[in-house]
A and B are shown apart, each in its own frame.
Chain A
Amino acid sequence: MIEFKQVSKKYPTGQLALYNINLTLEAGEMVFITGHSGAGKSTLLKLVAMLERPTKGDVLIGGRSLSKLGRSQVPNYRRRIGFIFQDPHLLYDRTVFDNIALPLRIAGMGQNETRRRVQAALDKVGLTGRESTFPLMLSAGEKQRVGIARAMVNKPTIILADEPTGNLDPELAQDIMFTFAQFNELGATVMIASHDHALVERMKKRTIVLQKVD
């Protein structure tokens, strides 16, 4: 499903983030990426989401090289991906509902279907009834859950999460990891970057450790 072939990434600043990565993820797999900060966990996820392009090597999704994807095809490709950041990047001038509905509106979905899907996503992350709240009135954990709901609402085939539990208390972090596991069981391929070893071990999933390159 996701395949890295001798991928290296060097940033224009000269920083070498990834060196010669070979990695294959099966469809429907859930993996954790761990490693010290600066080991390139985020870069790995960004390469999949096409937020960065590799300097060397190739990333293949479903057997198709991302380097062959033209500029105009990128938006459509991104709609298949749910990306969760440590900072959820919510839009603060819109309600929770409007934030979560954003991917559906981008896709041009009708009002009724949008409402149904957003309700379902809210339900899944345990925020039912908060749809007309503005993000500023939410706690960090709630914001993160809105970010997750937004990433999930479009039923993506690939879910990428970059330190999704970074600033949450352990209980909440556990909850959120189980949410990802649920989405995984529904068929999504999940990649989670995390440095929370205890939590990762408890999930009992395949774990990839990135070493820092110098």
Chain B
Amino acid sequence: MANMTNKKAAPKRNAASSSNPFSTWWNQQSGAIKFSMERLWFNPVSTWITLAAIAIALSLPTSLHLLLKNMQTLTADNREIPTITLFLKQSVTEQQAKDRAELLSELPEIDNVRVVTRDEALADFRKITGFAQTLETLDENPLPHVLILTPRLSLLSNLDMDIDSLSKKLKTYPEVDDLQIDVEWVQRLRGILRIAERIVLVVSILLGMTVLLVVGNTIRLDIENRKEEIRVTQLLGATNAYIRRPFIYNGIWLGLFGGVLSLVIVHIALLFLIEPVTKLASLYGSTFILSGIDVLMTLKILLASSVLGIIGSWIAVGRYLWQDDSIIR
């Protein structure tokens, strides 16, 4: 009684004096966790509807992301490594071509260099085209020596700039007559994928906001139903943190379980796709395998959905606490 005003010295007053701050904190947290879990089962139908809405909103960007990731592995496939073909001038001798190849293979951008001499090229040409007779009529071999360069993979994942500057550099060599870059299709595909990446990002943001709104609205309705309870607890000395806590946990559960449900949906969709994709790949003679969601991505999705749940409920409770300073009248 005497130290009534001594609030700072005895902030927890007699009620909690028997327990330390940590157990007070833990009791409040565990109480809120237990209570928010019970609230989920209080109205199972609305809970399931909310979870389904969140799950569907999350599974769309997840599956788009997976699609994109699979496309990217396609372009990174080792067997599809693109090449740069250098056509040397007619005057260049075979020895000069081999020397040049030697020098080129020293370049950091180049993985390896293969020399195709004009004789080899002619032989190949004969084999492939069946133009043997036509070629016989020519009195000399019209084909130049050719160097086939394989650029390093790291180069390809960089910007077009690198390929451009490399090709400019190659053109400056006196032996080089012309060059043909076989990486264009990869670059184009990468360009398209970059756009697709942006689209996935935009879709993810929009659907992330949907999750935010769904959680926020669910929590807002819950607050509306529990106004009386909030007022009573405020009267009994509940802090804003105490009032907020069960709603925040509720938001976490909605986000987390919604995320789990969305993963289930995406996995089922993948199972549905695996067979036809493998068949298609085998028709192309590829061993391409549809890649699914790995552990890291699973954790990322669950973390993101939980965080969205927290933000959504935080906004809903914050809005209520700001506007409603009132208490029982």
- Residue of B5, B16, B228 touching A91 (CB-CB under 8 A): B228
Per-position 1/0 for B1-25, Cβ under 8 A of A: 1101101000111111011000111
How many A-B pairs with Cβ below 8 Å? 102
A115 at the interface (CB under 8 A from B): no
Asked if B27 contacts A110 (CB within 8 A), the reply is: yes
Check B235–A49 contact: CB distance below 8 A: yes
Report how far A138 CA is from B28 CA in the complex, Å.
29
Q: Smallest distance from the beta carbon of B42 to chain A beta carbons, Å?
A: 8
User: Which B residues between 229 and 279 are near A, CB-CB below 8 angstroms?
Assistant: 229, 231-240, 242
A79 touches B4 (CB 8 A): no
Chain A residues within an 8 Å CB radius of B24: 107-109
Q: Does B327 contact A (CB under 8 A)?
A: yes
Residues 141-177 of A, flagged 1 when their CB comes within 8 A of B and 0 if not, give 0000000001000110100000000000000000000
Asked whether, in the complex, the Cβ of B19 is within 8 Å of the Cβ of A62, the reply is: no
Cβ of B31 < 8 Å from any Cβ of A? yes
B1 x A61 contact (CB < 8 A)? no
Which stretch, A15-23, A69-77, A122-130, A202-210, touches the partner chain B?
A: A69-77
Tally of contact residues, A, Cβ under 8 A: 38
**Contact assessment for B16 and A107 in the assembled complex, using a CB-CB cutoff below 8 Å:** yes
Size class of B's contact patch? 35 or more
Q: How far is the CA of A75 from the CA of B321 in the complex (A)?
A: 14
Q: Are B15 and A103 in contact (CB under 8 A)?
A: yes
Chain B residue contacts of A77, Cβ below 8 A: 7, 237
Decide if A75 touches B237 in the complex (CB within 8 Å): yes
Using Cβ atoms and an 8 Å threshold, which residues of chain A touch B238? 75, 106
Across-interface contacts of B295 in A (CB, < 8 A): none
Q: Please state if A108 and B5 are interface contacts (CB–CB under 8 Å).
A: no
The residues of B that contact A28 with a CB separation of less than 8 Å are 1
CB distance from A14 to the nearest CB of B (A): 16
B11:A76 contact, CB within 8 angstroms: yes
* B192 interface hit (Cβ, 8 Å): no
Contact residues in B for A76 (Cβ distance below 8 Å): 7, 11, 13, 237, 239
B233 contacts which chain A residues (CB < 8 A)?
102, 106
A85 touches B18 (CB 8 A): no
B328 in contact (CB, < 8 A): yes
B235 and A51 form a contact (CB under 8 A) = yes
Contact with B along A77-121 (1 / 0, CB 8 A): 111110101000101000000000011111111110100000000
Give the shortest distance, in Å, between A172 (CB) and chain B (any CB).
Answer: 23
B27 to chain A, nearest CB (A): 4
A187 within 8 Å of B (CB atoms): yes
A27 within 8 A of B: yes
Q: For the complex, give the distance between the alpha carbons of A110 and B240 in Å.
A: 21
Of the residues B2, B14, B229, B327, contact of A155 by C-beta under 8 Å = B14
Assess whether A105 is in contact with B7, with CB atoms less than 8 Å apart: no
| Residue from A62, A107, A108, A111 within 8 A of B4 (CB atoms) | A62
* Residue contact A62 to B5, C-beta cutoff 8 Å: yes
CA distance in complex: A92, B327 (Å): 18
B1, B5, B14, B237: residue with the most chain A Cβ atoms closer than 10 Å = B237
> In chain B, what residue has the closest Cβ to A81?
B237
Which B residues touch A157, using CB under 8 A? Answer: 1, 4
- Complex: A31 Cα to B278 Cα, angstroms: 86
Report yes or no: B27 in contact with A80, Cβ–Cβ below 8 A. Answer: no
Kindly name the residue among B28, B238, B242 whose own CB sees the greatest number of chain A CB atoms within 10 A: B238
Please, which residues of chain A bring their CB within 8 A of the CB of B329? 51
The answer on a CB contact under 8 Å between A27 and B1 is yes
Chain A residues within an 8 Å CB radius of B328:
51, 85, 89
CA distance A107 to B23 in the complex (A): 11
Q: Please, how many angstroms separate the alpha-carbon atoms of A28 and B11 in the complex?
A: 22
**Residue pair B19, A110 in contact (C-beta under 8 Å):** yes
B22-71 interface with A by 8 A CB criterion: 23-25, 27-28, 31
Shortest Cβ distance from B3 into A: residue: A62
Tell me which residues across on chain B come within 8 A of A103, comparing CB atoms.
15, 236-237
Residues of B within 8 A of A85 (CB): 328
CB distance from A64 to the nearest CB of B (A): 4
A1 at the interface (CB under 8 A from B): yes
Neighbour of B232 across the interface among A51, A62, A102, A108, CB < 8 A: A102
Report the separation of the CA atoms of residues A102 and B16 in the bound assembly, to the nearest whole angstrom. 14
- Would you list the 4 A-B pairs with minimal beta carbon distance, nearest first? A79-B237, A62-B4, A108-B24, A78-B237
> What are 19 inter-chain pairs, A to B, with CB distance below 8 A?
A1-B4, A51-B329, A76-B237, A77-B7, A78-B235, A80-B4, A80-B237, A89-B228, A102-B232, A102-B236, A105-B27, A105-B31, A106-B242, A107-B24, A108-B28, A109-B24, A113-B18, A113-B19, A154-B15
Not counting A78-B237, A150-B236, A157-B1, a sample of 17 additional A-B residue pairs whose C-beta atoms are within 8 angstroms of each other reads: A51-B329, A63-B5, A73-B7, A76-B13, A89-B228, A89-B232, A102-B236, A106-B242, A107-B15, A107-B16, A107-B24, A108-B25, A110-B23, A113-B18, A154-B15, A155-B14, A155-B15
